Amino acid sequence: MTDALNSYGEYAKFIFFLLADRPTIERHNLGVYTKSQTIGITRGRIFFHSGHVLQVFEQIDFVTHRIIRYFYELKFESERCGGMIQCLILMWRN
């Protein structure tokens, strides 16, 4: 993964490679973009056929080759409850 953190182009290729042709993924709206010359952002949701939805936020520093902020939240769409139920908050880091 450290190679993926070298540049915006490498990181974007890595993220979309992870999503490509995965039978468990129904769709996604992840976007990868730059905030400045050295900072990249990944933001959006991945929708799984199982009804799970993974919300993703990552802020990457391409100079230090590190993910400096991240947030992942996994939810499950429940028909019984008529909406989204929060199942798990994985991590929040400032």
At 43-56, the pLDDT tens digits run 999 999 999 999 99
CB-based burial, 64-78: b 16+ in 10 Å, e otherwise: eeebeeebebebeee
Per-residue pLDDT tens digits for 59-86 = 999 999 999 999 998 888 754 444 444 4
Share of the chain above pLDDT 70, in %: 80
Give residue 25's domain range. Answer: 2-93
Distance CA 42, CA 4 (A): 13
Query: What total number of domains does the chain contain?
Result: 1
Whether this model's pTM surpasses 0.85:
no
State the residue for tokens 């769409």.
Answer: 77
Burial of 46 (0-12, 13-18, 19+ CB in 10 A): buried
